[in-house]
Chain A
Amino acid sequence: MKARGKVHKYGDNVDTDVIIPARYLNTADMQELAKHCMEDIDIDFAGRVQKGDIMVGEANFGCGSSREHAPAAIKASGISCVIAKTFARIFYRNAINIGLPIIECPEAADKISAGDDVEIDFETGVITNHTKNETYQGQSFPDFLINIINSNGLLNSLK
């Protein structure tokens, strides 16, 4: 299982309020929420993102609220994987549960730049930066997580 796309790069402590501002949480329609994803720190994101693109953050990505709308909006925007140095724990759990692949890799977070063409192999945890011709070793997914991601989320995987 792999993902490949262009990188959208952010810094430390990307919080759930900037991923999806609470003023839009009067709906649980994730396609609608995707239109406002990241807008408070990256106003053009929703217009620029292409299906398959990759998001890269630094430490404590997804801190703040427990809103599952945050990983769901990222996923609905077309992002295929989020890479960060570390993730906030509720965001990490929520992302897996809704079938958004996320991977911790400090080296990748340091070296990848915005716009790089990056590929991730979830079985091995190897991240390949085709633009810079580099590879980074991230945390690989155990089988049960691969199963959740392939099933498009926890609840589907339980069926």
Chain B
Amino acid sequence: MSDKPLAAVPYLKIPEGADPYLEGHKCGNCGATFLGERDVCSKCGARDQMSTVTLPNTGKLYSYSIVYRSFPGIEVPYISAIVDLDDGTAIKGNLINVEPDPENIAFDMPVEVVYDDALGRKDADGNAYLSYFFQPAASA
């Protein structure tokens, strides 16, 4: 068992002695950005043009749903959100620290990425995980 939390997804990086961040893979040919490692661009087909980029921790809410019915053991309601990060990369996650009511959720509301424990979820070996969440931007 790891004594430090593991990353909930491969594109969440937890560097030694620095803040966690989200990593994208950007195509040097067409500029498309992807979450997760890849060698070939599915937008333009270019090979071996991928390089890693650190994704920004700020963006805007693009779309969402408020989930009331999920699988057993999943706490509801929660807001499933699609966020466009400031560099244009789209990413999905939970929008937290907002009352799950359409009245309180505005399209394009500024959000920031925050990193926290993965809701107490542990894997079969007992490892804890670090995940990312969205919350209304502090300046908003």
Q: Do A and B interact? A: no
